Amino acid sequence: MNIVLLGPPGAGKGTQGARIADRLAVPHISTGDLFRAMRRDNTALAVQIRSYMDRGMYVPDEITVQMVENRLMKEDARRGWILDGFPRTHAQAIALQDMLQRRRSRVDIAFHISAPTGVLLDRLAGRLVCSGCTAIYHVISKPPRREMVCDQCGDALQRRSDEDPEIVRQRLAVYAAQTEPIIDFYRAIGCLVEINGSLPLEVVERQVDEAVLSRVAISTVG
Ligand code: AMP
């Protein structure tokens, strides 16, 4: 099963992506996580990536599409994948369609997880991310058992450098301008599932699971 997660920063894409990837035993491919790993390198590309991320801007499509194409060619992605944070522009959505058509494959579900701006700002202000396994925590709603230490792998938790309030506002503006329009692209294809990401976590999880299960049922029958 191939799933795309659309939604503004803080809507819950990472949390849902990790969970359903685990359930379906397919890789959770977060372009933000891939860029955070790449930006640590000592290369000209890393310098370029840092300059975009630190301003809350999108990394150019050519770099992003190439990175995703390479990742989807890996063996573990043959049985399906969860793409979290890709596509984010119209050009990326078209590039993904082309890639899939070449392999006679398709996007089975595009989840659009939304939440009001106030909720997103509160969540992002308290978000902590593990520097090792990328697990996500929140200082109030999901604190780690030991302060600033990941429950899962024991590595240090950190705040993201692009979660300063000014940069967050910029990221939300870029999302509204460049990513919101592609929601209609997936609606037109007929695979869009809308999720209200401000509902309690268990309700969001149930709605996501129901959508996934109904597709599993369809692909088993068809
Ligand atoms: P995220 O962790 O998904 O919020 O992504 C963090 C940052 O990585 C974004 O603000 C962008 O700078 C960059 N990024 C992640 N995914 C993409 C994408 N699909 N296209 C361009 N830039 C991206």
pLDDT at position 161 is 84
By residue count, the chain amounts to 222
Which of 52, 59, 170 best tests ligand 1's pocket when mutated (most atoms within 8 Å of CB)?
A: 59
Other Cβ atoms less than 10 A from the Cβ of 14: the count is: 23
Q: What stretches of the chain adopt beta strand conformation (E)?
A: 2-6, 28-30, 81-84, 109-114, 127-130, 136-138, 157-158, 192-196
Beta partners for residue 195, in sequence order: 113
Question: Hey, is 112 helix, strand or coil?
Answer: strand
Phi, psi (degrees; rounded to nearest 5) at 76: -65, -15
Give the tens place of pLDDT for each residue, 17-61.
999 999 999 999 999 999 999 999 999 999 999 999 999 999 999
For the annotated catalytic residues, the residue numbers are 13, 88, 127, 160, 171
- C-beta of residue 132 within 8 angstroms of C-beta of residue 153: yes
| Residue ranges of the chain whose pLDDT lies below 50 | 222
Ramachandran sector of residue 52 (left: φ over 0; alpha: ψ -120 to 50; beta: rest): alpha
Q: With contact defined as beta carbons under 8 Å apart, do 28 and 220 qualify?
A: no
Output the DSSP codes for 98-111.
Answer: HHHHHTT---SEEE
Judge if the beta carbon of residue 28 lies within 6 A of ligand 1.
no
Q: What does the pLDDT read at residue 219?
A: 59
Asked if residues 24 and 212 have their Cβ atoms less than 8 Å apart, the reply is yes
CA of 86 to the centre of ligand 1 (A): 8
Residue type, 220: T
- 218: CA distance to ligand 1 center in Å? 32
Strand-pairing partners, residue 196, are 114
Residues 87 and 93 sit within 8 Å (Cβ to Cβ): yes
17 lines ligand 1 (CB under 6 A): no
